[in-house]
């Protein structure tokens, strides 16, 4: 795309910063883009899950840049906190699986055991490291079967750095940050002014101009969804901002982390009717929407239709290209999976590790729909001409 050339110098700058390890604090929206292409709202949203992390290590600047280049509507991130209260982009509450923290002897005494969602978890927790210390670490690919060439090249980024990537994109790109593990963060990180994690989260969004209800003029200018598995956090922030919120729903065996409610309770019609006053949609694990047995799809549940009946969008997670994640029904074809979920299940957005694949599918299917419509119009014109000739 022509616009990607304008983006290239900024991408190169981020890659240099990632390799050097120096903190990167750009001034958002200082690049000259003129009138940017608006967010598309007519098709299901392409949500770049932790960036384009099927290709580049998750939650890094490079992964988010790649997602923007590949056509993401939204770039998604998980927000945690450092020991000194700086909000960062990182998925796990521990650093063990996706950083080189174990190779840093200076941190060998930082391993702790904390209760996380009812279970004791041992590891190197983000809340025990300052931002400066976190910046000294390097991120690596989570899965061994994905490209390993980028391991050790990029640093953990802050929430503000993440926001700058969206604001400096050559077109309007939304953000989709998660209030991650708020119970743990509020237990271990204390801000001097007595504010909560959720307060800092919303303050950061407001600082960079994110505001407005879903599809409002302000929202379309800087689109954002706030997501969380914790209903109390979503209800709390609903009093702080009118930005649209998404209630994430875990596997059927996992209760809510803050209210200890079961899957069956939070997906009941009564609860959907309650939560719709605070959120515009739900984000369920896709295998709870369509159950799977022996890697084969079973009869879909009615969760999507019931959510839609309550005026709630449905954004399932997570779509991945690899055969180890694709169910047998799709014959190792991620396009077939996208087609099923968009056209048969009828979802409104998809969290994907492979932004480019979903974008290509949507482009291909939109052209096909356009071709079909043109062909239909042509047939109608021919029929009309034939009919007129017959009457003459």
For Cα atoms 48, 54, 57, give the angle at the middle one, nearest 5 degrees. 90
Give pLDDT, residue 35.
85
pLDDT digits (tens, 9 = 90+) for 140-171: 999 999 999 999 999 999 999 999 999 999 99
Query: Cβ atoms within 10 A of the Cβ of 198, count?
Result: 22
pLDDT for position 115: 96
Segments in the chain forming alpha helices (H): 2-20, 61-69, 131-135, 159-167, 182-188, 197-207, 217-221, 231-237, 263-266, 269-275, 286-289, 303-309, 334-339, 355-391
Q: Which residues of the chain have pLDDT under 70?
A: 1-34, 367-392
Looking up tokens 């699986």 gives: 97
pLDDT value, residue 366: 82
Q: What is the pTM of this model?
A: 0.87
Q: Could you tell me which residues are beta bridge partners of residue 246?
A: 227, 281
Q: What is the pLDDT of residue 16?
A: 40
CB atoms within 10 A of CB 190: 11
**pLDDT in the model for residue 377:** 61
Cα 374 from Cα 201, distance rounded (Å): 47
Assess if CATH 3.20.20.190 describes domain 45-92+145-380. yes
Q: What does the domain layout of the chain look like in residue ranges?
A: 45-92+145-380
Given a contact cutoff of 8 angstroms between Cβ atoms, the answer to whether 215 and 41 are in contact is yes
Predicted pLDDT at 2: 41
CA–CA dist 239, 235 (Å, integer): 7
Residue identified by tokens 């960062």 is: 88
């Amino acid at each position: 795309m022509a616009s990607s050339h304008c983006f290239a110098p900024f991408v190169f700058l981020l890659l240099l910063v990632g390799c050097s390890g120096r903190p990167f604090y750009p001034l958002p929206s200082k690049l000259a883009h003129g009138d940017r292409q608006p967010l598309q709202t007519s098709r299901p949203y392409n949500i770049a899950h932790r960036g384009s992390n099927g290709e580049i290590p998750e939650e890094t600047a490079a992964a988010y840049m790649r997602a923007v280049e590949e056509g993401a509507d939204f770039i998604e991130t998980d927000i945690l906190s450092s020991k000194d209260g700086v909000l960062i982009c990182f998925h796990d509450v521990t650093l063990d699986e996706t950083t080189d923290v174990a190779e840093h002897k200076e941190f060998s005494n930082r391993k702790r055991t904390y209760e996380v969602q009812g279970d004791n978890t041992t590891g190197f927790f983000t809340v025990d490291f300052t931002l400066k210390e976190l910046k000294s670490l390097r991120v690596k690919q989570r899965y061994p079967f994905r490209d390993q060439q980028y391991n050790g090249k990029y640093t953990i980024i802050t929430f503000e750095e993440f926001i700058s990537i969206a604001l400096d994109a050559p077109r309007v790109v939304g953000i989709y940050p998660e209030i991650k593990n708020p119970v743990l963060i509020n237990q271990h990180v204390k801000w001097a002014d007595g504010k909560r994690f959720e307060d800092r989260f919303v303050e950061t969004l407001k600082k960079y101009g994110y505001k407005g209800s879903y599809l409002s003029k302000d929202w379309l200018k800087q689109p954002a969804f706030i997501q969380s598995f914790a209903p109390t956090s979503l209800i709390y922030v609903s009093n702080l901002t009118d930005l649209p919120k998404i209630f994430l729903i875990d596997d059927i065996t996992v209760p809510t982390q803050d209210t200890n409610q079961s899957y069956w309770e939070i997906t009941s019609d009564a609860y959907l009717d309650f939560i719709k006053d605070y959120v515009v949609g739900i984000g369920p694990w896709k295998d709870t929407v369509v159950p799977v047995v022996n890697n084969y799809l079973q009869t879909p549940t009615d969760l999507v239709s019931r959510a839609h009946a309550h005026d709630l969008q449905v954004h399932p997670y997570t779509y991945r290209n690899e055969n180890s994640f694709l169910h047998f029904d799709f014959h190792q074809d991620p396009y077939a999976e996208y087609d099923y979920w968009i056209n048969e299940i009828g979802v409104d957005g998809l969290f994907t590790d492979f932004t480019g694949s979903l974008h290509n599918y949507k482009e291909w299917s939109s052209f096909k729909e356009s071709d079909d419509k043109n062909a239909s119009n042509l047939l109608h014109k021919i029929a009309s001409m034939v009919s007129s000739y017959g009457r003459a």
